[in-house]
Structures are given as C-alpha cells and as structure tokens.
Amino acid sequence: MRPVLRRLLPAVPLIALLNTAKVHAGPPFYTDDPEPVDYRHNEFYVFSTLDRSYGSDAIQGPAIEYNRGIARNTQFHVVLPFSYFSPAGAAGAFGFGDVEVGIKYRFIEESCDRPQIGFFPMAEIATGSAARGLGNGHTWYRLPLWIQKSWGPWTSYGGAGIDINHAPGMRDSTFGGLLIQRDLSPRLTLGGELFRQNAQVMGARGYTLLNLGGYYNFTRDFSLLFSGGRSATGERHTVAYLGLYWTWGSPG
C-alpha cells in the first residue's frame, strides 16, 4: 500500500483569537506547523481522509487523533485509524491501519521579528495488514522541521523533511510544503497550500498537490475541518479531508 493516507494526518493547533474562537494549523492540510498544544491541554479529532490515484481508493476513517501538551513547548501525538483500500479493478479491504505516534517540540518561539520553529518526528507503527493493503509492513519514520509566522489575520507556515522507509518496495524520500491562510471572521478561516511529496515507492513518481480548505468554529472549543485538492504535477492524486475537532484543558 502507498502510505499516502498517513501523510494526511499530522497534528494541529495555532492560536486563539482573544475572546472569540480557536484557529488551527496542520489538519486538514498536509503542511504542518511548529506550534505544540499548550501544557496540560488536549486536542481530539474524529476524521476521514480520501486519496484517489489511478483508479485506486485509499480511505482512512473512522480515525481519531489525540494531542496532549506534556511539557512546555512539547506535545504528544497519536493517530488510531481504520483504513479501506481498493486497488483498481479489485476487491477492497477494510480494517485497522498503521498507528502514528510522535512528539512535537518547538525550540524557537515566535516574536515580532522572528518565526517560531519546531521539530515533529513521528513513527508509523506497522499495526495494519500489509498483505491486505492496510499498512506499510514495517515501521517507518517521518522527520520534518516546520516554521510559522503570523501577521494580523494572516498566517503562513511550511517546512520540509525526510521519510525513512525500509519496507519491501519502498524507499526513503523527501517532502515539503508551504501554506497561507486568513481569518475571514472569528468563525471562518480559509487557506491553501502547495505540498511536494517525492516518490516513496520504488519505480513511482513524486507529485505536487494544490490543496484548499479551512475551519469553521462552532465555538472556541469545537470546529469543523475540511479540505480538498488534486495534484498539479507528477502522479495523479485527488485528496480530501473532513473532520471534527474538540479542545480542552486546565491552566498550566
């Protein structure tokens, strides 16, 4: 199975608008941000993703993501997915997929004249069945560095990293993305990204995605996340994300 679904998952938050609503980064986009969850705060997602490529469908869902601020500038991250994979012209399979775990650490905080920078290593644990197309077959690793800067209602974040994957038929690869988003109101944020994923499978090509999406904040602590896009160059991919988000916590 091409691990395209797991590339849709990484973690989340951005900043809270004073006395209004919370804004996010990461899901529903491929490009992530360097900002961890506040200490003793939590984030919880229920979501589904789609990646359609050359007649094959890779769907993740229902899936859950949980993030916890475990120390200052440090976040624990886990994704527990069910997956569905349907290769072109063949019967599909449904079952538990590979579990994602990671630690996000921000080592430079944002100021008026500098961006914030963070490191977000993740392991994709081989809990899904590779024989049924629901997993990679071997645990692999994703090592990105992310940068973010905000100006009033505008926020931009991006970065790059490497995938280390020694499963049969797979290869190490690099990736990178850049996103810009704008708060249109206390409830609605829209954004767009360019994301490049170089080939992860032996003999395959990489691709560049153009992805548009955003968040609708029902309250400060509950939001709807959505995105959709397709590849602009390289392998053909059509992708989508839909999820619900909750956050809560105690004073640090």
Q: What is the CATH number of the domain that holds 81?
A: 2.40.160.40
Q: Where are the alpha helices (DSSP H) in the chain?
A: none
Task: Please classify residue 248 by burial: count the beta carbons closer than 10 Å to its beta carbon, then call 0-12 exposed, 13-18 middle and 19+ buried.
Answer: exposed
Lowest pLDDT segment from 6-15, 167-176, 227-236: 6-15
* pLDDT tens string 180-228: 999 999 999 999 999 999 999 999 999 999 999 999 999 999 999 999 9
Mean pLDDT of 165-171: 95
Count of domains observed in the chain: 1
> Which residues are bridge partners to 100 per DSSP?
79, 124
Q: Which domain holds residue 102?
A: 5-249
Q: Are 62 and 82 in contact (CB under 8 A)?
A: yes
Alpha carbon distance 195, 100 (integer Å): 20
Closest to 78 in 3D by CA, of 128, 9, 140, 136: 9
Alpha carbon distance 87, 131 (integer Å): 12
Alpha carbon distance 68, 91 (integer Å): 38
Closest to 122 in 3D by CA, of 164, 153, 92, 89: 164
Task: Please classify residue 107 by burial: count the beta carbons closer than 10 Å to its beta carbon, then call 0-12 exposed, 13-18 middle and 19+ buried.
Answer: exposed
∠ at Cα 20 (15, 23), nearest 5°? 30
Mean pLDDT of 17-30: 60
